[in-house]
Structure 1
Amino acid sequence: MSIHTVKRAQSHLVWDNSIPPVLRVNSGETITFDCLDASNGQVTSDTQAQHLATLNFASLDQVNGPIYVSTAEPGDTLQIDVLDVQTADWGWTGIFPGFGILADEFAVPELKIWSLHTSEGEEESYGYAWFDKSKGIKIPLKPLAGEMGVAPGEKGAFSTIPPYKTGGNIDTKHLSKGSTLYLPIEAEGALFSVGDGHAAQGDGEVCGTAIETPMKITVRLTVLKDKQYVKTPHFQTPPTTKSESTDGYYCTTGVDPDIREATRSAVRNMIAFLSAEYSLKPVESYMLCSVAGDLRMHEVVDMPNYVIGMMIPRSIFGHSS
């Protein structure tokens, strides 16, 4: 199977279906992307907090690509299998005035530079970083790409800062190695791009930055013709021995500028998934969402849109007695 590579310089700053692809691949092929951090290389391990005010914000949140996938047509679904994510040995977390869920309360620029101790351990052990060693605060690493998306069907340029129904800056911490993301295709070839490396992140990314870091990410892109219910990003987490569900989760999302409507959409999309995949009546699916599903706030700071997820444990399915 072919393995392709995309270099750091092969990036763009908007979602736009008129951007020429940097690569054309067949469905099922694998690509490795070499990505700068979300500052587009403007923040380094030597940067000081006062330098944040001098950043060129127009060049933030670049994504690498786009990738044209043969046979991908509007109405199809793109399956993105995350095969590997590797970070640099450092990262950063910043407070930017005017940005974050408490922007009015934290108006002074701040910057933390992290030393990342990475590993290839088993059972989700990807290394660690000290938040404050003297106080014993240690952060486990679980690297992911904050930005994964396909081009919109609508003509024009759309900022990479917010999340969309076609993906983008979805900043969902569960999209680490072993996970699978599903995106609705609106443009011919899908035109997939990725970026915004995170070494660790909490649900919501409330201050607007995670542990930002350069990354190398390897994904497999597959076109699906039978998942028409995928209207927003869906994802599946891998099996794990550290979770209450050893089979992982399936998650549907809602993406909307109104947080309640995003939540309603996430539930509706789970109902559509359960009805299609498990032959449940909509009312049965709705009940199952209430007794087994978990609502999560995945992205709450990159306006104008919120990303709300409805996660259901896969361990509840497939029982014979």
Structure 2
Amino acid sequence: MNQYQCNTQYLRTEDPNIMSHSFHVSRSEVHLKWDNALKPVHTVDSGTEVTFDLMDGGYNQFTATSTAADVGNFDAAFADPAFGPVYVNGAEVGDVLRIEFLDLKTATYGWTAVLPGSFGFGLLADEFPEAALKIWDLETHKEEGYTVFKEGIHIPIRPFLGVVGLAHGEEGQFSTIPPYDTGGNIDCKHIGIGSMLYLPVKVKGALFSCGDGHAAQGDGEVCGTAIETPMKAKVKLTVEKGKPWVVSPHYITKPIGTTAVENRGEYAALGIDADLREASRKAVRGLINWLVGEKGLTRVEGYMLASVAGDLKIAEAVDMPNYAVACSLPLSVFVKAPYL
């Protein structure tokens, strides 16, 4: 099957006597550039549910048995693959496509990598020149809703898709790595199951694609990777008219429960600088220094933990010439000695 071939299934509903037509996008229907000339893999009506079988954001170059020795073979040209596109009937330029996230299932494993500086990933890439890779067990404690960073540190599993986007209005090919006003690699952890994302339509049919499954991530994804994982997704695509204010991604979240972990506050380091990026770097560095000095983690462990569970926040943006950026970590990730 080539990447544009239609893959349509017929699945049974709860009533075994009723056959329900559904649309499925397979792993083979992949593209590495946004391009409004791509042939749709499906054409669906507004309000249709579509399922996806997705490779991870690294094109499945790492597996459950990979080690740090494999990081040097990582090919960034295959980063952030998107799957689709899906043409939605009735979507016209100026409309909005509403994406509802109905179900997101991770694989049994995930990975977080510190990629060497030459790859250009990571807010402190210049300070972490050595490759590192952590393989996560996403199966053992999935019913309890967490995965183990190391004994005594638990990370809540909150799956979401990093890449969710529509075709650009301009002709040509655009990288899938950055975010755009039409979506793309927005890497927003708040858009999980039960949430709705609104994207501005720039071409007839919208041409929707998604990918880059994450089991967990902190705001900022500071080391360049989250808990990356292959994922199965189900979304509902609906065209909405008359919303001219949606000129970039907007979203509505579903409240996140606290059944898996309790809220015990957070620890944060502030970065202060006239340059917003440098203020962010200082904040991340400060949190890592605390994790090393107070909790006994290595710097690489601190960098990874900040990326999968820490949040970057602009605390102050009006008292020029300096910005204040916080990098915070929920204290609830620490569950056992010696980290309590």
State the TM-score bracket (shorter-chain normalisation).
0.7 to 0.9
- Quote how far apart the aligned CAs of 1:42 are: 1.1
CA distance in 2, matches of 1:162, 1:241: 30
- Quote how far apart the aligned CAs of 1:131 are: 0.3
Q: Does 1:69 align with 2:109?
A: no
Contact 1:148–1:193 (8 Å) recurs in 2: yes
Residue deviations 1:137-178 (CA, integer Å, cap 9, x gap): 001100010000000000110000000010000000011100
CA distance in 2, matches of 1:16, 1:118: 40
- Quote how far apart the aligned CAs of 1:49 are: 0.9
Partner of 2:232: 216
TM-score under structure 1 length normalisation: 0.72
User: What is the DSSP-based 3-state SS (H/G/I as helix, E as strand, rest coil) of the residue aligned with 1:104?
Assistant: helix
Partner of 1:207: 223
Partner of 1:100: 122
Quick one: which amino acid aligns to residue 28 of structure 2?
A
Partner of 2:307: none
Residue deviations 1:275-306 (CA, integer Å, cap 9, x gap): xxxxxxxxxxxxxxxxxxx969xxxxxxxxxx
Partner of 2:288: none
Contact 1:5–1:33 (8 Å) recurs in 2: yes
CA distance in 1, matches of 2:212, 2:164: 9
Uncovered stretches (5+) of structure 2, i.e. residues with no partner: 1-19, 264-275, 280-312, 316-340
Partner of 1:19: 38
1:57 pairs with one of 76, 81, 92: 76
User: What is the DSSP-based 3-state SS (H/G/I as helix, E as strand, rest coil) of the residue aligned with 2:80?
Assistant: coil
Quick one: which amino acid aligns to residue 190 of structure 1?
A
Uncovered stretches (5+) of structure 1, i.e. residues with no partner: 245-256, 261-293, 297-321
TM-score under structure 2 length normalisation: 0.68
Identical pairs, percent: 51
CA distance in 2, matches of 1:2, 1:175: 27
Partner of 2:298: none
1:142 pairs with one of 142, 149, 158: 158
Partner of 1:112: 134
1:89 pairs with one of 86, 102, 108: 108
Q: Does 1:232 align with 2:213?
A: no
Q: What aligned pairs does 1:172-183 form with structure 2 within 5 A after superposition?
A: 172-183=188-199
Evaluate the alpha carbon distance shift between residue 138 and residue 59 of structure 1 in structure 2; reply closer, same or farther with a 3 A threshold: same
CA distance in 1, matches of 2:233, 2:191: 11
Bigger-Rg structure (1/2): 2
- Quote how far apart the aligned CAs of 1:118 are: 6.9
Runs of 4+ with deviation above 4 angstroms: 118-121, 240-244, 257-260
Evaluate the alpha carbon distance shift between residue 79 and residue 138 of structure 1 in structure 2; reply closer, same or farther with a 3 A threshold: same
Residue deviations 1:166-225 (CA, integer Å, cap 9, x gap): 000000001110000000010110000000000000111001100000000100000001
CA distance in 2, matches of 1:259, 1:164: 22
Evaluate the alpha carbon distance shift between residue 240 and residue 161 of structure 1 in structure 2; reply closer, same or farther with a 3 A threshold: closer
Partner of 1:280: none
Partner of 1:6: 25
Contact 2:142–2:157 (8 Å) recurs in 1: no
- Quote how far apart the aligned CAs of 1:39 are: 1.4
Quick one: which amino acid aligns to residue 104 of structure 1?
D
- Quote how far apart the aligned CAs of 1:57 are: 1.7
